[in-house]
A = this chain, B = another copy of it.
């Protein structure tokens, strides 16, 4: 991804934390030489060396995926930024945060491992509920999915949050975003309002 210096995040820990918080990613590869994307929730592995997902066996994307390097993109909240919020001249832009992961995928078909992926994903998203749902992991259901573990070869992290603007403009951007309801994006700027 094209990352001008002021938008670049080099802290790998921060990038992985972003993925954990914004885990619904886009898995990009090719199927029969054509670009192909699936929208899937991803886990960061315990050793932080890979990201893991699963998809329906009916989805053709897994077929020849082990022969490729794939790209997975993660994105958080985003919004239009008006130059009218700046105190000095500027141009319209869009603010967002994104992490891109490049890596080689390995299919996961072993029932115990597949069961653990489903279990971890469920635990992650059920834990905030009062009565978390517990996976049953029936064999018939596990037979319908296939896991993909992507070992991280390259990680790119871009936080485009008006860091190229003077402090007073950044504060205005954070304030205006908050006012128009883009609360998460405003918070991501980490500016005291």
A104 sits at the interface (CB 8 A): no
Contact with B along A118-129 (1 / 0, CB 8 A): 100110011001
A18 sits at the interface (CB 8 A): no
CA distance A96 to B108 in the complex (A): 25
**Which chain B residues lie closer than 8 Å to A96 at the CB level?**
24, 39
**Is the beta-carbon distance between A92 and B125 smaller than 8 angstroms?**
yes
CA distance A69 to B26 in the complex (A): 18
Picked from B61, B84, B98, B100, the residue with its CB within 8 Å of the CB of A129 is B84
With contact pairs A4-B58, A60-B2 given, residues A39 and B94 touching in the complex (Cβ less than 8 Å): yes
Copies in the complex: 2
CA distance A111 to B135 in the complex (A): 58
Q: Using a CB-CB cutoff of 8 Å, which residues 104-119 of chain A contact chain B?
A: 118
A168 sits at the interface (CB 8 A): no
Q: Using a CB-CB cutoff of 8 Å, which residues 29-79 of chain A contact chain B?
A: 29, 34-41, 55-56, 58-61, 69-71, 73, 75, 78
Measured between C-beta atoms, what is the minimum distance from A23 to chain B in Å?
9
**Which chain B residues lie closer than 8 Å to A121 at the CB level?**
92
Interface centre among A2, A24, A78, A135 (most CB of B within 10 A): A2
**Which chain B residues lie closer than 8 Å to A55 at the CB level?**
2
CA distance A38 to B131 in the complex (A): 40
**Is the beta-carbon distance between A35 and B71 smaller than 8 angstroms?**
yes
Chain B, residue nearest A144 (CB): B91
CA distance A29 to B1 in the complex (A): 11
Measured between C-beta atoms, what is the minimum distance from A146 to chain B in Å?
12
Residues in chain A within 8 A of chain B (CB atoms): 1-2, 4, 24, 26, 28-29, 34-41, 55-56, 58-61, 69-71, 73, 75, 78, 80, 82-84, 89, 91-92, 94, 96, 98, 100, 102, 118, 121-122, 125-126, 129, 131-133, 135-136, 141
